[in-house]
């Protein structure tokens, strides 16, 4: 389902590149152009594997919203933080990590996720119609999938 020709994933060179994204998000020092789809997933993997002090389901709404605001972004009904997408990908990453060796290098795990169907930009659209996923309600709170 992924349109790999139009959106080939940008892979991470090493573990330090993944840590840079994860810590940059948490510290709100990551340059805005670096906050990509790939960075969202890398930060999630990083936090789950290396920051037990952060509970993504609970903490990411505030972390991502504050980060967005710190780089001049807006969190409103059409842009910025999206609750359903965030929680959907947290669940996806958790499931993906159960299938990986916990000693595998961080960049290898992130890159494997980015190359997997579950790491694609359009993965949520297997479960959600566009209307439901991009609704104001889905941006503001968790909404259940309407397709699968």
Q: What is the pLDDT of residue 6?
A: 62
Per-residue pLDDT tens over the stretch 28-38: 999 999 999 99
Provide mean pLDDT across the span 34-54.
98
What are the DSSP calls for 40-98, one per residue? HHHHHHHHHHH-TT--HHHHHHHHHHHHHHHTT---SSSSS--HHHHHHHHHHHHHHHT
* Cα(87)–Cα(146) distance, integer angstroms: 16
Alpha carbon distances (Å) from 67 to 30, 94, 101, 113: 9, 22, 30, 23
> What rounded mean pLDDT belongs to the chain?
95
Q: What is the pLDDT of residue 5?
A: 47
Kindly state the DSSP code that residue 147 receives in the 8-state scheme: -
Per-residue pLDDT tens over the stretch 126-141: 999 999 999 999 999 9
User: Does the pTM of the predicted model rise above 0.85?
Assistant: yes
Q: To the nearest whole percent, how much of the chain has pLDDT over 90?
A: 94
Q: What is the pLDDT of residue 7?
A: 75
Per-residue pLDDT tens over the stretch 78-89: 999 999 999 999
Provide mean pLDDT across the span 78-103.
97
């Amino acid at each position: 389902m992924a349109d790999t020709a139009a959106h080939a994933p940008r892979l991470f060179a090493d573990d330090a590149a993944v840590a840079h994204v994860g810590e940059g998000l948490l510290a709100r020092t990551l340059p805005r152009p670096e906050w990509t789809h790939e960075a969202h997933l890398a930060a999630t993997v990083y936090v789950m594997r290396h920051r037990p002090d952060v509970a993504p389901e609970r903490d990411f709404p505030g972390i991502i919203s504050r980060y967005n605001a710190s780089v001049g972004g807006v969190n409103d009904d059409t842009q910025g933080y999206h609750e359903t997408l965030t929680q959907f990908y947290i669940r996806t990453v958790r499931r993906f990590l159960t299938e990986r060796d916990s000693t595998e290098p961080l960049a290898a795990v992130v890159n494997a996720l980015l190359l997997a169907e579950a790491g694609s930009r359009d993965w949520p659209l297997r479960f959600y119609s566009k209307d439901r996923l991009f609704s104001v309600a889905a941006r503001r709170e968790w909404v259940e999938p309407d397709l699968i």
